[in-house]
Amino acid sequence: MEEFEKKYLANTLKAINKKIEKQQIELAEIKKLFEEKRFELGNNFYEYKQGQDLANTFTNLSQIEDQQIRCEKEIKKLKLQNDSPYFARIDFENSSALQKIYIGLGSIIYNNKAYVVDWRSPIASMYYEYELGPAQFETKDKIIKGQINLKRQYKIENQQLLSYFDTNLTINDEILQQILSKHASDKMRQIVSTIQKEQNAIIRTEKNENILVQGIAGSGKTSIALHKAAYLLYKHRKSLKSSDILVLSPNNIFSSYISEVLPQLGEDNLVETTFAQIVKTELKRPVQAREDMLDDLATCPNQEILNEISYKSSYEFLDSLLRFLKGPLTDIFTPKTLKYIIKENLDGEKEEIVFSEEETKNLFFKTFKGYDIYERINKIAWQYAMVFTEKRHYNKMQHRGLKDRFKQILYSFMPITDVEQIFQIFMAREKLSSKKNNTIQYMDKGTYLAIKHYLYGLDHDFSAKYLIIDEMQDFTPVDIYMFKKIWSCPYMIVGDVNQCIEKNLSKEYLALTADFLGCKVYNLNKTYRSTQEIATFANDMIGIKNIEYVNRRGQEPKVYNTSFQGKTIADIINKQCEDYEHIAIICKCNKEAKDICKQLNGYIDFVYMKEPEDYRNRILVTTCATAKGIEFDAVIVPNADEENYKNNLERNILYISSTRALHKLFFTTTKKTSAFLKNLDEIKE
């Protein structure tokens, strides 16, 4: 059997190399044709008619360029597969035949023989969904039933077959253990060889189905979202491009961390932005970073501010905002009669167009009642401009100008149209504090955008065919309301209500959000990131129950009570983490991080993580807010004393910091240890 497998791998590699050679020849021909056509265009530019011939030539050049891009992408993907062409095999038997199906990153077909099938294909879905025994898969027009007689998993590296295992399970525990035991990478990795059944069900949901994934720390929710994107690009490749899928990321460091997943799968990267960047673009004002808001809270906890954050994070606040916009703000629209003389004879007789106050009121408050203000004004302005167009035969350009002029007049009937002023009025009505400066506070970004959108609409096009929203728990209901306003496409939202620092979210909040967005909820309760000891400690700390763990054991988290934190941290890294590639010293806030940097100077080399490229370094000092969503081989949390970590907000920080650790977790303190760590062994130095 081993000889058969070695021979099959060799034949597959030959097929890949043949395909690469064929594609390279085709690419050379395409490049040559492109240069010939471009040269021809340059020589004959002035001889072409300024019309169809020139247009056809440019179209032809564009088509050749598209062929070149497709060919280069195919070569890149084949070279990616050349190192490890497949990771699994199933033997599927039905009434027609027994098929040996090898599964990899992409299909490998040469001379009409399918050596490998794409992991996203319907037939490959059986690998993730079924154990040995009856199985089926669905094609476009029918369901094919049969029997899985064999499930085999491979470890192939550098074109060498290192080992393989037969199993009845979806993913053999030995394979999964090997992968999860690896060191952290500076980029998130693709997980096609270890996708679990519950993860696969989410990845293969229909494109038009809105889904919300609630996943505990380490459940793979972000990775699943990216693999979902890859699946959609495969299944809908004729109608969907990577540029059609938009990812709303928490911050630039996180965006950089996930940037290699799609390229590892042979797909182009998706379009990424942050909601704060969208608000900044629309309002033309800076927006406070979430990390800065959390840093302020961690540095100087303020119960009044926390209460405001809790209220602004509620659907009650969203309801108040919408009632204000659709009620008091809309009601200040006070039109006047508009009278225009379009013709006057020598006797002084006039032909007039009159839009009475009552007519405008009826249109605004009754006919277009269900619309936002900007939509009402657009519709009335268009209707009024059409009266002139019909009577005076205005052309389209003149009609557009008339419409814009009427919009200005209609907006003049609003006594207040300044977004900042309206925001301040609303905040005063809600008895909430409000800083009057140019920077929009993080918690207010959705409110500002909602006011601007209701009054004027948006200036920019943020359209997408599919939307992925990460770290759902960090957004407010007002933010989520604006997602519905901006994007009408299907979406996938992932997050964890347990990983919110500044507020506590409940299952009821999750249900409200799913209902508001029309989402089906998927729950992921199995953690794959941390060892069972780390995950158990972290989840017990905040009272999460019914969690499943991968059977990957490690040492218990430890607390070091010391007089010299800098030296102790250096000793932990040098003696207990010497083989690890990514180690994080995660602090509560920037003030604390700067102090720890001073304590570490002279003991070890480290980098204070602020930019995406900083993550490439081995030892990092950072804050919980910055490290959120990222993982490290080992994590050290300094100043873990009863004064520094005593309330709910600080417990949440401790939980998120702890769940960043893959293999080892340490706490250091110079004072009495925090009560949240009471069950851990304490080492006094």
pLDDT, residue 172, reads 47
What is the mean predicted confidence (pLDDT) over 268-294? Answer: 94
Mean pLDDT within 12-41:
87
- Do you know the residue count of the chain? 685
Residue 168 has pLDDT above 90, yes or no: no
The pLDDT score that the predictor gives to residue 388 is 81
* pLDDT tens-place string over residues 56-91: 766 777 888 888 888 988 999 999 899 999 999 999
pLDDT at 328 over 80: yes
DSSP state of 666: E
**Predicted pLDDT at 619:** 96
- H runs (alpha helix) in 112-220: 125-129, 173-180, 197-203
Residue labelled with tokens 């990899």: 104
The average confidence (pLDDT) of the chain is: 90
pLDDT at 296: 92
* Range with lowest mean pLDDT among 290-304, 632-646, 653-667: 290-304
Q: Which residue has the tokens 């009620």?
A: 327
Segment (H or E) for 508? helix 507-517
Q: Annotate 268-314 with DSSP letters as a single string.
A: PPPEEE-HHHHHHHHHTS-B--HHHHHHHHHHS--HHHHHHHHHHTS
Q: Is the pLDDT of residue 180 over 60?
A: no
Q: Are 151 and 171 in contact (CB under 8 A)?
A: no
The predicted pLDDT at position 279 comes to: 97
Q: What is the pLDDT of residue 78?
A: 93
- Whether pLDDT at 492 is above 60: yes
Predicted pLDDT at 393 = 57
SS3 118: strand
- pLDDT above 90: residue 1: no
Residue with tokens 């006919």: 367
What per-residue confidence (pLDDT) applies to 396? 67
**73: its two tokens:** 């992408």
CB hemisphere CA count around 324 (13 angstroms): 18
SS (H, E, C) 17-40: HHHHHHHHHHHHHHHHHHHHHHHH
pLDDT above 80: residue 186: no
pLDDT band at 45 (very low <50, low <70, confident <90, very high): low
Q: How far is CA 17 from the centre of its chain?
A: 35
Q: What pLDDT, on a 0 to 100 scale, did the predictor assign at position 57?
A: 67
Residue 438: pLDDT over 70: yes
Q: Sheet holding 466-469: strands in order across?
A: 271-273, 245-248, 466-469, 491-495, 211-215, 520-524
Percent of the chain with pLDDT over 90: 69
pLDDT digits 0-9 by tens, 606-647 = 999 888 788 889 999 999 999 988 999 999 999 999 999 999
pLDDT digits (tens, 9 = 90+) for 197-253: 899 999 999 999 999 999 999 899 999 999 999 999 999 988 999 999 999 988 888
Instruction: HSE, CB side, 13 Å, CA atoms: give it for residue 529.
Output: 33
pLDDT for position 41: 63
Per residue in 343-384, pLDDT (tens digit) is 777 776 777 889 999 999 999 999 999 999 999 999 999 999
DSSP 188: P
| 3 state DSSP class of 326 | helix
The whole-angstrom separation of Cα 293 and Cα 301 is 11
pLDDT at 171 over 60: no
pTM for this prediction: 0.89
Pairing type for strands 338-344 and 350-355 reads antiparallel
Residue showing tokens 């409110």: 447
- Tell me the C-alpha to C-alpha distance, in Å, between residue 227 and each of 252, 412, 529, 589: 20, 50, 17, 33
| Average pLDDT value for residue range 314-336 | 97
Nearest to 337 by CA among 414, 415, 413: 413
The first and second tokens of residue 382, run together, are 């268009």
Q: What angle do CA 405, 411, 415 make, to 5 degrees?
A: 145
Question: What's the mean pLDDT in 311-323?
Answer: 97
What pLDDT, on a 0 to 100 scale, did the predictor assign at position 319?
Answer: 97
Other beta carbons within 10 Å of 335:
22
Cα of 193 vs its chain's centroid, Å: 22
Q: Residue 172 has which token pair?
A: 């053999």
- The answer, yes or no, to whether residue 53 has pLDDT greater than 70, is no
CA distances from 137 to 94, 123, 258, 471 (A): 12, 6, 31, 33
Percent of the chain with pLDDT over 70: 93
Q: What is the pLDDT of residues 444-461, one digit of tens each?
A: 999 999 999 999 999 999
Q: SS3 letters for 58-102? A: HHHHHHHHHHHHHHHHHHHHHHHHHHCCCCEEEEEECCCCEEEEE
Q: Report how far apart, in Å, the C-alpha atoms of 225 and of each of 201, 231, 263, 470, 662 are.
A: 12, 10, 15, 8, 21
Question: 530-539, pLDDT tens digit by residue?
Answer: 999 999 999 9
pLDDT at 665 over 80: yes
Q: Which two tokens stand for residue 493?
A: 């939202």
